[in-house]
Amino acid sequence: MTSLGPGEHTRVRRLPEKATYDADTIFAIIDDAPFVQLAAVVGDLAMTLPTLAGRAGHTLYVHGSQSNALLRAALAAGRVHLTATCYDGLRLARSAFESSIAYRSASVVGTIRVVDDESEWTRASDLLTDAALPGRSREVRASSDRERRLTLICAIDVTEASAKVSVGPTDDEPEDLDSAVWAGTIPARLVYGAPQPASDGAMARGNIPIPPSVEALYES
């Protein structure tokens, strides 16, 4: 088991019994999260950026426009902070104080660099595409030279990280156990609606089947 902490910036101090520094757990949360939040200081203001993250081992890839202020600020600093959260439902206790959401969250610090190697850029671009929809990178055309020039891809090499996981039954006070208040857990999950095909170009002229990446959304 590989440990990524506790580190100076990611040690869990509030409810440390919910913390883990296991790399597999941390990266599973990042892989499951629909998006991540990058944080950096832009000018004199701390800012966050919601974005996709692709992963290869202990390296995370993020992207934006070449003029993205937050990414440029992070690159100037040489490191960045990233968080990911999976919302898993509600934990309803008999009191408001003990009620909470069910979640898995990860907090990551790493060094950040521009991806300028052509082969790494292509791999990272595919990972980012598949972070939105697994398998989609095999179904779309390759990026054009113009698209490559416009897109800034950065690699974050993780140096420390932690996860915090809150699941299971609620922690009611003993004196509340016999109260006439409903308590329990309510699981939640992301559900996709029916695909709405585009109505232009070849889609309008012919019967193009739903691709495997989209079909797979309904098999899980």
Per-residue pLDDT tens digits for 76-130: 999 999 999 999 999 999 999 999 999 999 999 999 999 999 999 999 999 999 9
Share of residues in the chain with pLDDT > 90 (%): 87
Predicted local distance difference test score (pLDDT) of residue 49: 96
Residue at 194 is within a domain: no
Closest CA to 33 of 50, 18, 49, 45: 50
CA distances from 49 to 35, 70, 210 (A): 10, 7, 32
Residue at 195 is within a domain: no
Residue at 196 is within a domain: no
Distance CA 129, CA 178 (A): 51
Q: Do residues 26 and 4 make contact, with C-beta atoms less than 8 angstroms apart?
A: yes
- Alpha-helical runs (H) found in the chain: 23-32, 69-77, 118-132, 145-150, 201-205, 212-215
Closest CA to 28 of 90, 106, 112: 106
Predicted local distance difference test score (pLDDT) of residue 206: 83
Q: With 80 as the cut, is the pLDDT of residue 219 above it?
A: no
Q: What does the radius of gyration of the chain's CA atoms come to, in whole angstroms?
A: 21
Mean pLDDT, the chain, as a whole number? 94
Mean per-residue pLDDT for 59-69? 97
Angle at 211 between CA 206 and CA 217, to 5 degrees: 135
Predicted local distance difference test score (pLDDT) of residue 9: 93
Mean per-residue pLDDT for 133-154? 96
Residue at 151 is within a domain: yes
What residue numbers bound the domain in which 55 lies?
Answer: 16-175+182-188
pLDDT in tens, 163-184: 999 998 888 999 999 999 999 9
Q: Count the domains in the chain.
A: 1
Closest CA to 115 of 127, 132, 98: 127
Q: How confident is the model at residue 220 (pLDDT cuts 50, 70, 90)?
A: low
Residue at 119 is within a domain: yes
Mean per-residue pLDDT for 146-166? 97
Residue at 28 is within a domain: yes
Q: How confident is the model at residue 46 (pLDDT cuts 50, 70, 90)?
A: very high
Residue at 211 is within a domain: no
Backbone angles phi, psi at 172, to 5 degrees: -75, 150
Share of residues in the chain with pLDDT > 70 (%): 99
Q: Do residues 38 and 62 make contact, with C-beta atoms less than 8 angstroms apart?
A: yes
Q: How confident is the model at residue 209 (pLDDT cuts 50, 70, 90)?
A: very high
Predicted local distance difference test score (pLDDT) of residue 55: 97
Residue at 41 is within a domain: yes
CATH number, domain with residue 85:
2.30.110.10
